[in-house]
Amino acid sequence: MALRCDATMAYVGMATFMNNMRRFPEPIRIGIGNGGETVPHRMRECLRVSERATRICVIYYSSAGTLRRMAEALVEGAETAGAEVRLRRVPEFDEATGPIPLVDAPQLTDLAWADGIALGTPARFGNVAAELKRFIDSTHPLWEQGALVDKAVTGFTAAGSEHGGQEVTLMALYQSVYHWGGLIMPAGYVDPVQREAGGNPYGLSARSSRSGQISPATAGAARVLGSRLTSVAGRLHRAPVAVS
C-alpha cells in the first residue's frame, strides 16, 4: 500500500501516523515540543523540503529591455512572497561563434534546482524567440530524467502591437512544458491589476517599446504573477509525497 508523508502530519495526529509507518527501518528523531517523535528515514526528504524556501527560476530573453523589466518585477513579487529566486538572461546568439557569454546565462542546473519556473520571450511572429527556444531545446537530458515533472511553470511575453500575437506566443511556449510534464500556471484573472495590464489569462503580456519601459499596471501584474507562482510552486513541493 502506498503511504503518504506530509510535514503537517508531524504536528497533527503523529501517533496515528506513526502507527502506519512502523514497517520502515532506521528511524530518526525530530523535536516536537519537549519530547520528540520517531520518524522513519524515508521521511527525511519530505521534512527537509518542507522547511526550505520555495525556489523560483525566472528565465527570459530580451532584445529591447521590455522583457527584462517584466522579469525584474516578477522577481520582486516572488521575493516578497518569500521565495529564493534566480534571475537568468538568455544570451544573444551569433551564427558564427554561438551564444555570446553571459555571467547570468541560464543553465540546466537552474531548472533542476527550481520548484517553479517563469519563462519570458518576445513574440516573434506569434512564436517563441529562437534564443529562448534554443535553450528550451537543450533541456532534453532533464526531460529524459523526469527532472522537470510537476514543476509549476508560467510565461510572459511582449509584442510591438496590441494584437501582435501575445496569446499565441504563450501557447507556443507552453507546448514544451507539456512534454516536460510540468504544470502550467496561467495568469487567469485573480487580481484587478491583471485586467489593467491587458487581461491576458494565459500569462503576462505587454506592448514592447524601444525604451524598454513598462507600465505601472504591467509591473503590478508581473509582481502578482511572481507571488502566485511562489504560492503554487510552494504548495506543490510541500504536497504529500507517495512512499512505496
H or E element, residue 206: strand 204-207
> Which residues form the domain of 105?
54-236
- Find, among 152, 128, 157, 154, the residue nearest to 218 by Cα: 157
- Written as tens digits, the pLDDT of the chain (244 aa) is 333 444 433 333 343 334 444 433 444 343 434 444 444 444 445 445 557 899 999 999 998 899 999 999 999 999 999 999 999 999 988 777 777 777 789 999 999 999 999 999 999 999 999 999 999 999 999 999 999 999 999 999 999 888 899 999 999 999 999 999 999 999 999 999 999 999 999 999 999 888 889 999 999 999 999 999 999 999 998 876 554 5
Same domain, 39 and 101: no
Distance CA 39, CA 30 (A): 7
Please check whether residues 73 and 93 belong to one and the same domain: yes
Q: Tell whether 27 and 67 lie within a shared domain.
A: no
Number of domains in the chain: 2
- Pair 76, 126 in one domain: yes
In a domain, 136, yes or no: yes
Residue with cell 508531524: 10
Instruction: Based on the fold, state whether residues 132 and 154 are members of the same structural domain.
Output: yes
Residues 67 and 31 in one domain: no
Q: Both 19 and 90 in a single domain?
A: no
> Are 80 and 10 members of one domain?
no
For residues 38 and 27, the answer to whether their CB atoms sit within 8 Å is: yes
Q: For residues 124 and 190, give the distance between their C-alpha atoms in angstroms, rounded to a whole number.
A: 28
Q: Where does a domain end: 50, 70, 87?
A: 50
Is 222 inside a domain boundary? yes
**pTM (two decimals):** 0.78
| Angle (nearest 5°) at CA 138 between 135 and 144 | 140
Q: Verify that 127 and 11 share a domain, yes or no.
A: no
